[in-house]
Structure 1
Protein backbone atom coordinates (compact mmCIF):
# COMPACT_ATOMS: atom_id res chain seq x y z
CA UNK A 1 0.00 0.00 0.00
CA UNK A 2 1.40 3.40 -0.91
CA UNK A 3 1.38 6.56 1.15
CA UNK A 4 -1.53 8.95 0.71
CA UNK A 5 -0.93 11.95 -1.55
CA UNK A 6 0.08 15.02 0.41
CA UNK A 7 -0.50 17.81 -2.06
CA UNK A 8 -2.94 18.51 -4.92
CA UNK A 9 -0.13 17.94 -7.41
CA UNK A 10 0.43 14.41 -6.00
CA UNK A 11 -3.21 13.42 -6.48
CA UNK A 12 -4.78 12.08 -9.61
CA UNK A 13 -6.59 14.85 -11.47
CA UNK A 14 -10.25 15.21 -10.66
CA UNK A 15 -12.55 13.78 -13.28
CA UNK A 16 -13.49 17.22 -14.53
CA UNK A 17 -14.47 15.70 -17.88
CA UNK A 18 -17.19 13.64 -16.18
CA UNK A 19 -18.30 16.52 -13.96
CA UNK A 20 -18.43 18.92 -16.87
CA UNK A 21 -20.36 16.43 -19.03
CA UNK A 22 -23.03 15.94 -16.35
CA UNK A 23 -23.38 19.69 -15.75
CA UNK A 24 -23.50 20.43 -19.46
CA UNK A 25 -26.16 17.78 -20.05
CA UNK A 26 -28.33 19.16 -17.26
CA UNK A 27 -27.95 22.75 -18.48
CA UNK A 28 -28.88 21.72 -22.04
CA UNK A 29 -32.25 20.21 -21.08
CA UNK A 30 -35.08 21.96 -22.91
CA UNK A 31 -37.86 20.39 -20.82
CA UNK A 32 -38.21 19.94 -17.09
CA UNK A 33 -36.66 16.67 -15.93
CA UNK A 34 -38.51 14.49 -13.43
CA UNK A 35 -38.19 15.45 -9.79
CA UNK A 36 -36.19 12.29 -9.03
CA UNK A 37 -33.62 13.16 -11.70
CA UNK A 38 -33.32 16.69 -10.39
CA UNK A 39 -32.74 15.32 -6.88
CA UNK A 40 -30.01 12.97 -8.13
CA UNK A 41 -28.25 15.73 -10.08
CA UNK A 42 -28.49 18.05 -7.08
CA UNK A 43 -26.70 15.45 -4.94
CA UNK A 44 -24.06 14.80 -7.59
CA UNK A 45 -23.39 18.49 -8.17
CA UNK A 46 -23.16 19.07 -4.42
CA UNK A 47 -20.54 16.31 -4.09
CA UNK A 48 -18.64 17.60 -7.12
CA UNK A 49 -18.63 21.12 -5.71
CA UNK A 50 -17.43 20.01 -2.27
CA UNK A 51 -14.51 18.20 -3.91
CA UNK A 52 -13.74 21.04 -6.32
CA UNK A 53 -13.97 23.71 -3.61
CA UNK A 54 -11.36 21.92 -1.51
CA UNK A 55 -9.02 21.35 -4.45
CA UNK A 56 -9.35 24.90 -5.81
CA UNK A 57 -8.71 26.37 -2.34
CA UNK A 58 -5.57 24.27 -1.94
CA UNK A 59 -4.26 25.15 -5.39
CA UNK A 60 -5.04 28.85 -4.93
CA UNK A 61 -3.32 28.76 -1.52
CA UNK A 62 -0.10 27.73 -3.21
CA UNK A 63 -0.08 30.95 -5.24
CA UNK A 64 0.91 34.45 -4.14
CA UNK A 65 -1.78 36.67 -2.60
CA UNK A 66 -1.83 38.93 -5.67
CA UNK A 67 -2.14 36.10 -8.25
CA UNK A 68 -5.16 37.08 -10.38
CA UNK A 69 -6.22 33.55 -11.45
CA UNK A 70 -6.12 32.39 -7.82
CA UNK A 71 -8.18 35.37 -6.65
CA UNK A 72 -10.77 34.83 -9.39
CA UNK A 73 -10.91 31.12 -8.53
CA UNK A 74 -11.51 31.94 -4.86
CA UNK A 75 -14.35 34.27 -5.86
CA UNK A 76 -15.82 31.33 -7.81
CA UNK A 77 -15.44 29.18 -4.69
CA UNK A 78 -17.39 31.77 -2.69
CA UNK A 79 -20.19 31.81 -5.26
CA UNK A 80 -20.30 28.00 -5.35
CA UNK A 81 -20.48 27.90 -1.55
CA UNK A 82 -23.43 30.37 -1.60
CA UNK A 83 -25.20 28.22 -4.17
CA UNK A 84 -24.61 25.09 -2.11
CA UNK A 85 -26.18 26.82 0.88
CA UNK A 86 -29.38 27.68 -1.01
CA UNK A 87 -32.34 25.69 0.35
CA UNK A 88 -34.33 23.41 -1.93
CA UNK A 89 -36.66 25.57 -4.02
CA UNK A 90 -40.43 25.30 -4.06
CA UNK A 91 -41.87 23.57 -7.11
CA UNK A 92 -40.15 21.65 -9.86
CA UNK A 93 -39.24 24.64 -12.01
CA UNK A 94 -37.77 26.47 -9.01
CA UNK A 95 -35.72 23.43 -8.05
CA UNK A 96 -34.49 22.98 -11.64
CA UNK A 97 -33.37 26.62 -11.65
CA UNK A 98 -31.48 26.07 -8.36
CA UNK A 99 -29.78 22.91 -9.66
CA UNK A 100 -28.86 24.71 -12.89
CA UNK A 101 -27.06 27.31 -10.77
CA UNK A 102 -25.16 24.44 -9.12
CA UNK A 103 -24.32 23.05 -12.57
CA UNK A 104 -22.97 26.45 -13.67
CA UNK A 105 -20.77 26.51 -10.56
CA UNK A 106 -19.51 23.00 -11.40
CA UNK A 107 -18.55 24.20 -14.89
CA UNK A 108 -16.83 27.31 -13.50
CA UNK A 109 -14.89 25.46 -10.79
CA UNK A 110 -13.79 22.81 -13.31
CA UNK A 111 -12.32 25.65 -15.36
CA UNK A 112 -10.62 27.18 -12.29
CA UNK A 113 -9.27 23.80 -11.16
CA UNK A 114 -7.83 23.06 -14.59
CA UNK A 115 -6.29 26.52 -14.87
CA UNK A 116 -4.68 26.39 -11.42
CA UNK A 117 -3.54 22.76 -11.78
CA UNK A 118 -2.09 23.41 -15.23
CA UNK A 119 -4.34 20.84 -16.89
CA UNK A 120 -4.31 21.28 -20.66
CA UNK A 121 -7.46 20.15 -22.44
CA UNK A 122 -7.58 18.99 -26.07
CA UNK A 123 -9.74 21.43 -28.01
CA UNK A 124 -10.89 18.65 -30.35
CA UNK A 125 -12.00 15.90 -27.95
CA UNK A 126 -12.24 17.90 -24.68
CA UNK A 127 -10.12 15.37 -22.79
CA UNK A 128 -6.96 16.18 -20.83
CA UNK A 129 -3.62 16.09 -22.60
CA UNK A 130 -1.56 14.10 -20.13
CA UNK A 131 2.19 14.29 -19.62
CA UNK A 132 3.96 12.40 -22.38
CA UNK A 133 1.04 12.48 -24.81
CA UNK A 134 1.86 14.02 -28.16
CA UNK A 135 0.02 17.25 -28.93
CA UNK A 136 0.23 20.13 -31.36
CA UNK A 137 -0.67 23.80 -30.98
CA UNK A 138 -4.02 24.92 -32.35
CA UNK A 139 -4.97 28.51 -33.04
CA UNK A 140 -8.32 29.38 -34.54
CA UNK A 141 -7.99 32.82 -36.03
CA UNK A 142 -10.98 35.14 -35.78
CA UNK A 143 -12.09 37.37 -38.68
CA UNK A 144 -10.77 40.39 -36.78
CA UNK A 145 -7.28 38.92 -36.94
CA UNK A 146 -6.89 37.86 -33.33
CA UNK A 147 -6.81 34.35 -31.99
CA UNK A 148 -10.35 33.36 -31.05
CA UNK A 149 -9.40 30.12 -29.35
CA UNK A 150 -5.81 29.09 -28.83
CA UNK A 151 -4.74 25.88 -27.20
CA UNK A 152 -3.54 22.38 -27.98
CA UNK A 153 -4.95 19.23 -29.52
CA UNK A 154 -3.81 15.62 -29.28
CA UNK A 155 -1.77 14.67 -32.32
CA UNK A 156 -4.18 11.77 -32.87
CA UNK A 157 -7.12 14.21 -32.87
CA UNK A 158 -5.39 16.53 -35.32
CA UNK A 159 -4.67 13.69 -37.73
CA UNK A 160 -7.93 11.78 -37.29
CA UNK A 161 -9.94 11.44 -40.47
CA UNK A 162 -13.22 13.28 -40.19
CA UNK A 163 -16.29 11.07 -40.43
CA UNK A 164 -18.84 12.21 -42.98
Structure 2
Protein backbone atom coordinates (compact mmCIF):
# COMPACT_ATOMS: atom_id res chain seq x y z
CA UNK A 1 0.00 0.00 0.00
CA UNK A 2 1.31 3.45 -0.92
CA UNK A 3 2.27 5.82 1.91
CA UNK A 4 0.09 8.55 0.38
CA UNK A 5 -3.11 6.60 0.91
CA UNK A 6 -5.65 8.97 2.45
CA UNK A 7 -6.56 8.48 6.11
CA UNK A 8 -10.00 10.01 5.56
CA UNK A 9 -11.46 7.12 3.63
CA UNK A 10 -14.65 5.97 5.31
CA UNK A 11 -16.46 4.55 2.31
CA UNK A 12 -14.83 2.33 -0.31
CA UNK A 13 -14.07 4.26 -3.47
CA UNK A 14 -15.51 2.35 -6.43
CA UNK A 15 -13.61 3.79 -9.39
CA UNK A 16 -15.13 1.26 -11.78
CA UNK A 17 -18.65 2.49 -11.06
CA UNK A 18 -17.54 6.11 -11.17
CA UNK A 19 -15.96 5.61 -14.58
CA UNK A 20 -19.06 3.84 -15.90
CA UNK A 21 -21.14 6.91 -15.06
CA UNK A 22 -18.51 9.18 -16.59
CA UNK A 23 -18.51 7.11 -19.77
CA UNK A 24 -22.30 7.18 -19.96
CA UNK A 25 -22.22 10.97 -19.95
CA UNK A 26 -19.14 11.54 -22.09
CA UNK A 27 -19.21 8.71 -24.62
CA UNK A 28 -22.73 7.64 -25.59
CA UNK A 29 -21.46 7.06 -29.13
CA UNK A 30 -19.29 4.17 -27.94
CA UNK A 31 -22.40 1.97 -28.05
CA UNK A 32 -24.18 2.58 -31.37
CA UNK A 33 -27.68 1.80 -30.05
CA UNK A 34 -27.27 4.09 -27.02
CA UNK A 35 -28.79 7.53 -27.04
CA UNK A 36 -27.39 10.44 -25.03
CA UNK A 37 -29.14 10.63 -21.66
CA UNK A 38 -32.05 13.04 -21.40
CA UNK A 39 -34.76 13.99 -18.89
CA UNK A 40 -34.95 11.84 -15.82
CA UNK A 41 -31.95 9.73 -16.74
CA UNK A 42 -29.79 12.83 -17.19
CA UNK A 43 -30.92 14.16 -13.81
CA UNK A 44 -30.15 10.81 -12.15
CA UNK A 45 -26.71 10.61 -13.75
CA UNK A 46 -25.95 14.21 -12.77
CA UNK A 47 -26.89 13.57 -9.14
CA UNK A 48 -24.86 10.36 -9.18
CA UNK A 49 -21.78 12.23 -10.43
CA UNK A 50 -22.33 14.92 -7.79
CA UNK A 51 -22.44 12.20 -5.12
CA UNK A 52 -19.27 10.58 -6.44
CA UNK A 53 -17.52 13.95 -6.42
CA UNK A 54 -18.63 14.60 -2.86
CA UNK A 55 -17.12 11.26 -1.85
CA UNK A 56 -13.91 11.55 -3.86
CA UNK A 57 -12.93 15.20 -3.27
CA UNK A 58 -11.88 14.77 0.40
CA UNK A 59 -10.02 11.54 -0.42
CA UNK A 60 -7.99 13.12 -3.20
CA UNK A 61 -7.41 16.32 -1.25
CA UNK A 62 -6.12 14.43 1.80
CA UNK A 63 -3.73 12.39 -0.33
CA UNK A 64 -2.49 15.49 -2.20
CA UNK A 65 -1.80 17.35 1.04
CA UNK A 66 0.63 14.58 2.01
CA UNK A 67 2.84 15.50 -0.95
CA UNK A 68 5.65 18.02 -0.50
CA UNK A 69 4.29 21.56 -0.32
CA UNK A 70 6.40 22.68 -3.29
CA UNK A 71 5.36 19.72 -5.45
CA UNK A 72 3.92 20.55 -8.87
CA UNK A 73 1.84 17.37 -8.64
CA UNK A 74 0.34 18.58 -5.36
CA UNK A 75 -0.57 21.94 -6.91
CA UNK A 76 -2.12 20.27 -9.94
CA UNK A 77 -4.22 17.90 -7.85
CA UNK A 78 -5.36 20.64 -5.47
CA UNK A 79 -6.32 22.71 -8.51
CA UNK A 80 -8.50 19.84 -9.68
CA UNK A 81 -10.03 19.58 -6.19
CA UNK A 82 -10.78 23.32 -6.31
CA UNK A 83 -12.40 22.91 -9.73
CA UNK A 84 -14.55 20.04 -8.46
CA UNK A 85 -15.74 22.10 -5.48
CA UNK A 86 -16.48 25.04 -7.76
CA UNK A 87 -18.47 22.85 -10.17
CA UNK A 88 -20.49 21.45 -7.28
CA UNK A 89 -21.47 24.98 -6.28
CA UNK A 90 -22.76 25.92 -9.74
CA UNK A 91 -26.00 25.08 -11.53
CA UNK A 92 -26.77 24.30 -15.17
CA UNK A 93 -26.78 27.34 -17.43
CA UNK A 94 -28.30 27.68 -20.92
CA UNK A 95 -25.19 29.65 -21.85
CA UNK A 96 -23.00 26.58 -21.27
CA UNK A 97 -25.12 23.78 -22.72
CA UNK A 98 -27.83 23.58 -20.07
CA UNK A 99 -28.26 20.40 -18.06
CA UNK A 100 -26.35 18.14 -20.51
CA UNK A 101 -23.38 20.54 -20.58
CA UNK A 102 -23.36 20.77 -16.80
CA UNK A 103 -23.46 16.98 -16.47
CA UNK A 104 -20.56 16.60 -18.93
CA UNK A 105 -18.46 19.18 -17.06
CA UNK A 106 -19.08 17.33 -13.79
CA UNK A 107 -18.21 14.02 -15.48
CA UNK A 108 -14.91 15.38 -16.87
CA UNK A 109 -14.01 16.64 -13.39
CA UNK A 110 -14.89 13.28 -11.82
CA UNK A 111 -12.77 11.50 -14.43
CA UNK A 112 -9.79 13.73 -13.60
CA UNK A 113 -10.23 13.09 -9.87
CA UNK A 114 -10.38 9.32 -10.51
CA UNK A 115 -7.08 9.60 -12.40
CA UNK A 116 -5.50 11.57 -9.56
CA UNK A 117 -6.84 9.12 -6.97
CA UNK A 118 -5.24 6.23 -8.85
CA UNK A 119 -1.94 8.04 -9.18
CA UNK A 120 -1.82 9.13 -5.56
CA UNK A 121 -2.71 5.68 -4.28
CA UNK A 122 -0.51 3.69 -6.67
CA UNK A 123 -3.40 1.87 -8.29
CA UNK A 124 -4.04 1.33 -11.99
CA UNK A 125 -7.10 0.99 -14.16
Q: C-alpha distance in 2, partners of 1:67/1:43?
A: 33
Which residues of structure 2 form unaligned runs of 5+?
1-5, 30-34
TM-score when normalising by structure 2: 0.80
The answer (yes or no) to whether the contact 1:27–1:103 under 8 Å persists in 2 is yes
- Structure 1 residue runs of 5 or longer lacking an equivalent are 1-5, 127-164
Larger relative contact order (CA 8 Å, sep ≥ 6):
2
The answer to whether the aligner puts 1:44 opposite 2:48 as a matched pair is yes
Higher helix residue share: 2
Give the match for residue 88 of structure 2: 84
TM-score for both structures, normalised by structure 1: 0.62
Match of 2:120 in 1: 116
- Counterpart check, 1:75 vs 2:79: yes
Which is higher, the Rg of structure 1 or of structure 2?
Answer: 1
Higher strand share: 1
In the alignment of these two chains, the number of paired residues is 114
